[in-house]
Amino acid sequence: KQEVTQIPAALSVPEGENLVLNCSFTDSAIYNLQWFRQDPGKGLTSLLLIQSSQREQTSGRLNASLDKSSGRSTLYIAASQPGDSATYLCAVTSAAGNKLTFGGGTRVLVKP
């Protein structure tokens, strides 16, 4: 059974600092890994999708890496802004069962 873990569970940084969010998964047989952002009481916004054959994806200040063999992904957010405050979720689509399994999320607070 796929299990996804995110560390840390919460993170508070001053504005301008770079953010590093970690995600690990137990079964490396995945189709892809996605990073999402969720604001309080809202749905999910897809940030980055990394295919199983890829090692990283970049979008603006966001960069996500994937090391499938070790079951890890890292989301980097450069030069954080207060507007980056949200919960960040990673999820993997497993080859077995085609299901999306979520990590517990990291709650980020960027202080002005």
Partner 1 sequence: GAVVSQHPSRVICKSGTSVKIECRSLDFQATTMFWYRQFPKQSLMLMATSNEGSKATYEQGVEKDKFLINHASLTLSTLTVTSAHPEDSSFYICSTPGGPLSLNTEAFFGQGTRLTVV
- CB 16 → partner 1: shortest distance, Å? 27
Which residue, 65, 61, 108, 110, is CA-closest to 89? 108
- CB 70 → partner 1: shortest distance, Å? 20
- CB 79 → partner 1: shortest distance, Å? 25
Q: Which residues bind partner 1 (CB under 8 A)?
A: 31-32, 34, 36, 41-44, 46, 49, 51-52, 89, 91, 93, 98-105, 107
For residues 79 and 18, is the Cβ–Cβ distance under 8 A? yes
Q: What is the C-alpha to C-alpha distance for residues 110 and 11, in angstroms, rounded to an integer?
A: 8
Residue with smaller CB distance to partner 1, 43 or 112: 43
Which helix (H) or strand (E) covers residue 101, if one does?
strand 100-102
Residue with smaller CB distance to partner 1, 32 or 63: 32
In the 8-state DSSP scheme, what is residue 52? Answer: T
Residue with smaller CB distance to partner 1, 71 or 105: 105
- CB 81 → partner 1: shortest distance, Å? 23
Residue with smaller CB distance to partner 1, 53 or 69: 53
Q: What is the C-alpha to C-alpha distance for residues 59 and 84, in angstroms, rounded to an integer?
A: 14
Residue linked to tokens 């980020």: 108
